[in-house]
Amino acid sequence: MTKQTLSRAARDYTWIFLGSVLYSVSFDWFYVPNQIGFGGLTALGMILNHFVSAIPIGTVVLVLNVPLFLLGWKFLGGHTLVSSLFAMTATSVLVDLIAAVYTFPPMDPMLAAVFGGVSLGAALGMIFSKGATTGGTDLTARLLKIPFAWLPVGKLLMAVDLLMLLAVSVAFRSMNSALYGIISLYISTMVMDGVLYGMDQSKVAYIITATPRIMAEEIDRQLDRGVTFLRGEGSFSGKEKLVLMCAFKQRQIVPLKALVHELDPDAFLIVCEAHEVLGQGFRRYQKNDL
């Protein structure tokens, strides 16, 4: 293993650990004291802990995750399994450790649902972004991502967790618990998808100009972005035109617009959102990518 590989692994596992800390604090702070429904195997832990307080939630999650991790080894490979074991162990231990050290007081359930969803979604996004899961339905959603590759992982997680929320509401004999849980679940999946897919914000520009080749050269020189020529035809003039297509990062939109205006104030510029831009200068394709 090279020094560069070790350094990258250290950064990844540090990021996973920080996500695990945020996950554990969010769970103990917002969910447990307010009896807000929580999906996945953690929900089963909450139910058992509700009836038998001596049973730690984190320990239940660890035990129930064993069969899921066997499936993870088969379908997702060793890297995902090891990193997920690390994340699952960290979150399970930290959940019990924090609960033993300090008991968070209850708060307004709506505030807990909203801020719990935001913080938990950010934590899961951090963990998932490094190829790990916290086990339970997180790992189930990761496995479902294989046959349903076109669906965002947050949506898959939300679908799997809804059933567990119903079980929590029955155990707590409170529909409010499930309703607040649904609010929190929706927020957390939106935030998680934002962390996973929103951090790689890219755009694509279509430029129609009287000086296409000069424009392409300057975009390449000043912004270090390649340009593709598309052949078009003006519907009014009937003349053939070269349309410039250029993918670029979100932060480059201002200099791109300034450059286009400087070279040709009459240029026609269209900027569109672009997702999953793969290739040189952007992300590389990876097998089982989220």
- Give 14-73 pLDDT, tens digit per residue: 999 999 999 999 999 999 899 887 777 777 777 777 777 777 777 777 777 777 777 666
What pTM value is reported for the model?
Answer: 0.67
In a domain, 210, yes or no: yes
Instruction: Inform me whether the pLDDT recorded for 199 exceeds 70.
Output: no
What local confidence, expressed as pLDDT, does residue 37 receive?
76
66 and 13 in one domain? yes
The verdict on 131 and 215 lying in the same domain is: no
Same domain, 213 and 183: no
- 285 assigned to some structural domain: no
pLDDT of residue 105: 94
- Of 10-19, 56-65, 92-101, 142-151, the one with minimum mean pLDDT is 142-151
What is residue 250's predicted lDDT score, i.e. its pLDDT? 77
- CATH code, domain with 263: 3.30.70.120
If asked whether residues 33 and 116 sit together in one domain, one would say yes
Rounded CA separation 198/273 (Å): 11
C-beta neighbour count of 219 within 10 angstroms: 24
CA distance 175 to 214: 64
Residues 56 and 130 in one domain: yes
pLDDT in tens, 211-269: 999 999 999 999 888 899 999 888 888 888 899 999 888 778 889 999 999 999 999 99
Structural domains of the chain, count: 2
- Report the pLDDT value the prediction gives residue 290, as an integer from 0 to 100: 52
What DSSP line would sit under the chain, residue for residue? --HHHHHHHHHHHHHHHHHHHHHHHHIIIIITTTT----HHHHHHHHHHHH-TTS-HHHHHHHHTHHHHHHHHHHH-HHHHHHHHHHHHHHHHHHHHHHHH--PPP--HHHHHHHHHHHHHHHHHHHHHTT---SHHHHHHHHHTTTTTTS-HHHHHHHHHHHHHHHHHHHTT-HHHHHHHHHHHHHHHHHHHIIIIITT-EEEEEEE-S-HHHHHHHHHHHH----EEEEEE-TTT--EEEEEEEEEEGGGHHHHHHHHHHH-TT-EEEEEEE-S-BSTTSBPP-TT--
Last residue of a domain, one of 174, 198, 222: 198
What amino acid occupies position 102?
Y
Of all residues in the chain, what percent carry a pLDDT higher than 90?
33
215 and 113, same structural domain? no
The range of the structural domain enclosing residue 15 comes to 3-198
Residues 146 and 267 in one domain: no
Average confidence score pLDDT of the chain: 82
Domain check: are 142 and 216 in the same one?
no
When pLDDT is averaged across residues 106-110 and rounded to a whole number, the result is 93
What pLDDT is stored for residue 51 in this prediction? Answer: 79
Instruction: Report the distance separating Cα 125 and Cα 162, nearest Å.
Output: 19
- Note the pLDDT of residue 276: 66
Q: Is 120 domain-assigned?
A: yes
Q: Kindly state the greatest CA–CA separation across the chain.
A: 80
Pair 206, 164 in one domain? no
How far, in whole angstroms, is CA 1 from its chain's centroid?
Answer: 28
- The answer to whether residue 222 is domain-embedded is yes
